[in-house]
Structure 1
């Protein structure tokens, strides 16, 4: 690894010197507050509702300490040696991080159902290479991953952001130092200017992106960089301002702690975070650091040995707690449900103590990684080891998924009796299917077929020039039935089945599906206004459709029977389509799984286990579907197709219908089930047209 030396910096950074400079009691107390906030939020979210802001505290601390260290190094004759700097980060962070990743991967194989292996192990590899934050950001905007459960390594997103900071930050500082190498007196002002630029730009991006796409903004590096920059700027205050004046130190510290603890205790998950809301914990942390170590009663609280010890082991505490939260089962049948969280907390503390004593401290200060070369070899071998542990499970899952797809396609295309939806709609059972379950549970989440080949994502439908992406299925004959399939991802779920039947049925289908893409009238303030206007223009334009087939997701926030305000907007959008002679056929939406049914399905690995997962019809249809009411109000050119009998028999709605797993996730059907449902859908639409 190369090194870069710069001329000495003429001013000393913010008042840190001596061997104990990174052992300041207030910083350890901040680490304690941060890690306890995160851990308690994950264990008892109702008690510490804003505990997620603890990671912002860590970001400010990292920005402060790392900037202080880099500028101190730059002031020495040899300058900053990047190779040695990054080697120290490896010694400090990687041994524990890689140990927990290997343990999490092992726990995934042993304790987690196969259906979740691919997601969990993919995230494990992403965490090993410190890109888990980007993996989660992608998943946050990927509608297909919206219902994915949290993995045991999800908390590595914040470590990924920190590692990316450790790579880029010294390069920025050294670039500023290099550009001012002939003017040493400009060195610190230049570095401060760079940090201020990062702070302003990143904060603006955080506010804007959080307002538009809060889920993705939470994880990405550029919406968090300003928090590191706040700490970095604090480290570069002139010597005269490096600490709060002594008479103001106590009030400043109190104000900082009030702001920080207020955020941890009072914030809610519904807040637009990070954005401007993150100012409270970030500024609070900066004030505490600026005030310095307190005296008097404050010293007794902040300097308490327990507080300091928790701060010392905070890294291990953070790493261990989340895998336990995810994989430790409910202790209710054995010890009582209420004991699960206290047991996880005690186990986390015990593992943190052991890890700090036997892993963190020895690797950081011992001879094992004493040279930079050894540290880099360890990093490469350790990351490769995590991949070696995780990749076989991913490969196994993909292999099983491919075999499952081939078998499902063969059965669906062979018109096997009583397979899938026919099991209920034809009220039959085929003994030849005994032991068959398709798709295989491990392949369920990936069983989408070609459903999303023509699908517009949320970001695309939010664009000011958004318009439908049209794909064609089926017949090209001039006398074919002209059909437009319109809607959201639930309409897209019909494509695998319609693709197989369209040509043989004499249908010519134009597919126009998108996130939130139901046939709804545009209105002021609608983020998808441009898309809706373009969709209506397409359906009322030169192409004369015989029928527009619409469906969309149920309204999860409204109970069945509750007035749904989207009904009027549906009717308003349908009327100009019907006015030109086109028939609108609405397909009543499929059931939405309850949390209990989803948990049962995620844990099922065999036909018997999956067949035991079910819900009542009342629970399955507990949420509002606006389509039936819209059809009633729209008049005679609108019809409703209700295939609820394909999902439920009397009052029982199982997860397995005719040896097919009907649900890919909480609201979407599998491509395999779509193929078995399609013949009945085609017949029902043709009956409605007749």
Structure 2
């Protein structure tokens, strides 16, 4: 974000040829209020998108408008200095940026660090602290890009500081851009020394501009090409990484070098300005999360912003720049940086404080509150510190920045550590005879296992972190991995007598702590052939690449032909889709089950392996808890919010059946098959008598999200699973 004062740094350079009907108007280095108006538009689009994402579906383009503005103003300032003095004073430039941006951002981070542990459930503290660290160091965008490709983090909630990703991109631009231009300028000076004396003189303005234009133009073109490619190849990462955004800054930079403060007015100039506004607003209303962004689609709002800065009229009512220069509009622009900083924590925290936070009039009140706080913090905090004489020396600014960042990170760390220590630890351990499933299996010995009166072991936060900390890292193939990656557990190969294979998706992987122990006790190797998001099936997609389906077909043949594999365990999620009938034809037993094409694809592997004389163990689909809250609240989070009454997070048994559950229905299809073994799992987590599935049993939170059984709970059912699977191992 750039300051209002820097809006005056545009340069009075000659404009290139544009349509003759557009009149040129140069206003020298004077303040350009329409840029503040454009800032106001950008921040209002972002705020509207975050408060009403279902209505202003593309409001995120406001961030791209900010990037264009920053490229314009920063490059104008740097060029002016380079043309006048022949050099760029990096230290002074960075010191100004620090005094402008860091005080308010560190204030917001510090307050958010404290508010997070006071308001958010404990499941959110660790990730919020992690992202506060990243935000304070301005690398938040890279953290989010890395998380975007981590399957275990795909369902993580947005933190109260996630919006710092765009500020991180800007800060990286502020660090690298002047270095690039300073290097280019230095090389230009050296090149000219062979032709004329330049000692003590500035490089000619036109020559400097030409060099900057070439370098920035080539860099921007390369960044745009990469953005288009990477958005198509890896959209989730492309949204956050800096190289896909550099061209947006370059677009503003080229405008500064070509036009400076020269603007195109008159009838056609004004029409182009209104066209630019239409391009921005059209993108904000027509784009959505499904729009590939920031590839070529980002050209629409960014070119629109460029047009609006370069073209417009100031006539009352009809002039686009007249509207954008109105004092109420420029005031919002003056506060836009603060509004951007404050609004997102309010979006994240308010639902925990107000049950009515989703009502439109409450949202309007919250936005007005954000504007007031932004105006006050700008006037009484940011501005005084930016102008403080004690910070004017560059070295003092740098030291103050380092100290401030360290203090914020220390506050974030201490806040979480202090509050976590105040949690009452449970006396239970996983070895307790009434821990987890054992409490459900032995009510006479353990008493009421459902209300969580024994405390929680581990904590809700630790359980919520389990998806990022698998028991057996690398034992689950990625959704797009080619071939059939495998993982070996169980007994050592030199000591084993036979092999158990595990086939399925992440709902098969979650049982590995139990299956590993069962295999070791039985003296068997455990071959893990699981893949995230990959339903165990004998079908491939018809009109799309399908590494999952192709790998499954290879696994069918491999396990059928491998004499060492005696037993095959199949497990899967209730949720599946995208495939139709099987690619393998088998004769299924006659039954009363009405199989769809999808159902036939799911149970065909069972028949294939029964025909190969394998022992086939089918684990029934586990209940899927609180489906209606999946998008907004995981089970550990619900428990953290209801520690005094975890039963509030229970679910009705019937509500946990969210699909046809073909694996469960397979027990009716293969009722007469000798080598078929169905293992129910529903009764491990639910009471049929009470028609309820439990969030907490015997001090153990049952799920680490809403559909995967927690690692600690799996360990508590290991003995029961071993007993149920034993007939298959004896076969």
Q: SS in structure 2 opposite 1:546?
A: strand
Q: Is 2:620 the partner of 1:621?
A: no
What is the match of residue 678 of structure 1?
718
Aligned partners of 1:244, 1:488: CA distance in 2, in Å? 60
Q: Distance in 2 between matches of 1:624 and 1:38?
A: 41
Name the structure 1 match of 2:545. 526
CA apart distance, 1:643: 0.7
Distance 2:259 2:367 in 1: 42
Question: Aligned partners of 2:369 and 2:12: how far apart in 1?
Answer: 46
Match of 2:200 in 1: none
Looking at structure 2, the residues matched to 197 and 456 of structure 1 have their Cα atoms a distance apart, in angstroms, of 42
Output the CA distance in 2 between the equivalents of 1:543 and 1:53. Answer: 58
Q: Name whichever of 268-277 and 344-353 sits farther off.
A: 268-277
* Aligned partners of 2:495 and 2:523 also within 8 Å: no
The change in CA–CA distance for 1:335 and 1:491 in structure 2 (over 3 A counts) is closer
Looking at structure 2, the residues matched to 55 and 517 of structure 1 have their Cα atoms a distance apart, in angstroms, of 36
Equivalent of 1:510 in 527, 536, 561: 527
Number of the residue aligned with 2:348: 326
The more displaced of 259-268 and 486-495 is 486-495
Does the aligned pair in 1 maintain the 2:513–2:715 contact within 8 Å?
yes
1:205 matched to 2:205? The reply is: no
User: Relative to 1, partners in 2 of residues 1:383 and 1:535: Cα closer, same or farther, differing over 3 Å?
Assistant: farther
Structure 2 residue matching 1:295: 3-state secondary structure: coil
CA displacement, residues 127-177 of structure 1 (integer Å, 9 cap, x when unaligned): 100111111122222222222222111111110111111111122222332
1:95 aligned residue? 103
**Residue 265 of structure 1: which of 260, 285, 288 is its match?**
285
Deviations 1:565-590 (A, max 9, x none): 65444345556555433343332332
- Conserved 8 A contact 2:504-2:529: yes
Taking the aligned partners of 2:81 and 2:557, their CA distance within structure 1 comes to: 64
CA shift in 2, pair 1:360/1:179, >3 Å: same
Q: 1:442 to 1:333 in 2, by over 3 A?
A: closer
The question of 1:442 aligning with 2:442 is answered: no
Kindly tell me the number of residue pairs found equivalent between the two proteins.
667
- Of 616, 623, 629, the match for 1:591: 623
Which residue does 1:68 correspond to in 2?
76
Instruction: Answer with 1 or 2: which has the greater Rg.
Output: 2
Aligned to 1:499: 516
Farther-moved stretch of structure 1 (183-192 vs 353-362): 183-192
After superposition, give the CA deviation of every residue in 1:191-239 in whole Å (9 maximum; x if it has no partner): 3233233323322332333233322222111222222122222222267
The residue aligned with 1:6 is: none
Q: Which among 189, 211, 217 is matched to residue 196 of structure 1?
A: 217
Residue 564 to residue 197, structure 1, CA distance change in 2 (3 Å): farther
Other-structure match for 1:649: 687
CA gap of 1:136–1:336, structure 2 versus 1, over 3 A, is closer
Structure 2 spans left out of the alignment, 5+ residues: 1-10, 16-24, 193-202, 579-592
Worse overlay, 648-657 or 339-348: 339-348
- Deviation (angstroms), 1:485: 1.6
Partner of 2:497: 480
Unaligned 5+ segments in structure 1 are 1-9
Check 1:398–1:451 CA distance in 2 against 1; reply closer, same or farther (3 A cut).
farther
- Classify 1:634/1:138 alpha carbon distance in 2 versus 1 (closer, same or farther; 3 Å): farther
Q: Secondary structure of 1:504's match?
A: helix
Correspondent of 1:251 among 252, 268, 271: 271
Q: CA deviation at 1:253?
A: 0.7
Contact 1:437–1:659 (8 Å) recurs in 2 = yes
Report if aligned partners of 2:12, 2:28 keep a CA contact under 8 Å in 1. no
Q: Can you list the C-alpha shifts for 1:445-466, whole angstroms capped at 9, x where unaligned? A: 22466534124564xx425x44
> Are the counterparts in 1 of residues 113 and 412 from structure 2 also a CA contact under 8 Å?
yes
Instruction: Indicate if the aligned counterparts of 2:12 and 2:27 stay in contact, CA closer than 8 A.
Output: no
Aligned to 2:4: none
Q: Say whether 1:356 aligns with 2:356.
A: no
2:528 is paired with a residue of what secondary structure?
strand
Deviates more, 1:273-282 or 1:516-525: 516-525
Structure 2 equivalent of residue 343 of structure 1: 365
1:226 aligns with 2:247: yes
* Shift, 1:633, TM fit: 6.4
- Aligned residue in 2 for 1:470: 487
Q: Could you say what secondary structure the match of 1:585 adopts?
A: strand
> Which position in structure 1 is the counterpart of 2:8?
none
What TM-score, normalized to structure 1? 0.87
Residue-by-residue CA offset, 1:416-455 (whole Å, 9 max, x unaligned): 4342123334555525985232211231222466534124
Give, in angstroms, the shift of residue 625 of structure 1: 3.7
- How far residue 596 of structure 1 moved from its aligned partner, in angstroms, is 4.1
Corresponding residue number in structure 2 for 1:419: 435
Which residue in the other structure is 2:166 paired with? 158
Task: After TM superposition, list the pairs within 5 Å mapping 1:266-281 onto structure 2.
Answer: 266-281=286-301
| Cα pair 1:450 1:496 within 8 Å, conserved | no
Tell me the secondary structure at the aligned position of residue 291 of structure 2: coil
The SS at the match of 2:503 is: strand
Q: CA deviation at 1:400?
A: 9.9
What is aligned with 2:237? Answer: 216
Query: What whole-Å deviation, never above 9, does each CA across 1:508-563 have from its counterpart, x for those lacking one?
Result: 211233323443344452342565466456535546311221223332789xx999
With over 3 angstroms needed to count, the CA separation of the structure-2 counterparts of 1:547 and 1:79, relative to structure 1, is same
Quick one: distance in 2 between partners of 1:338 and 1:668?
Answer: 35
Deviates more, 1:523-532 or 1:129-138: 523-532
Aligned to 1:664: 704
Structure 1 segment 555-574 matched on structure 2, within 5 A:
555=575, 566-571=598-603
**Distance in 2, Cα, partners of 1:625 & 1:196:** 57
Shift in alpha-carbon separation, 1:308–1:569, aligned structure 2, 3 A? same
Counterpart of 1:311?
Answer: 333
Q: Which residue of 1 aligns with 2:119?
A: 111
Alpha-carbon contact 1:554-1:589 (below 8 Å) kept: yes
| Whole-angstrom distance in 1 between the partners of 2:14 and 2:335 | 27
Q: What are the superposed Cα offsets for residues 19-41 of structure 1, whole Å, 9 maximum, x if unpaired?
A: 53xx4232212211111111122
> Structure 1 450/144 Cα, relative in aligned 2: closer, same or farther at 3 Å?
closer
Which position in structure 2 is the counterpart of 1:5?
none
Deviating more after overlay: 530-539 vs 84-93: 530-539
Q: 1:315 to 1:501 in 2, by over 3 A?
A: same
Separation in 1 of the partners of 2:436 and 2:463? 14
Compute the TM-score of the two structures, normalised by the length of structure 2.
0.82
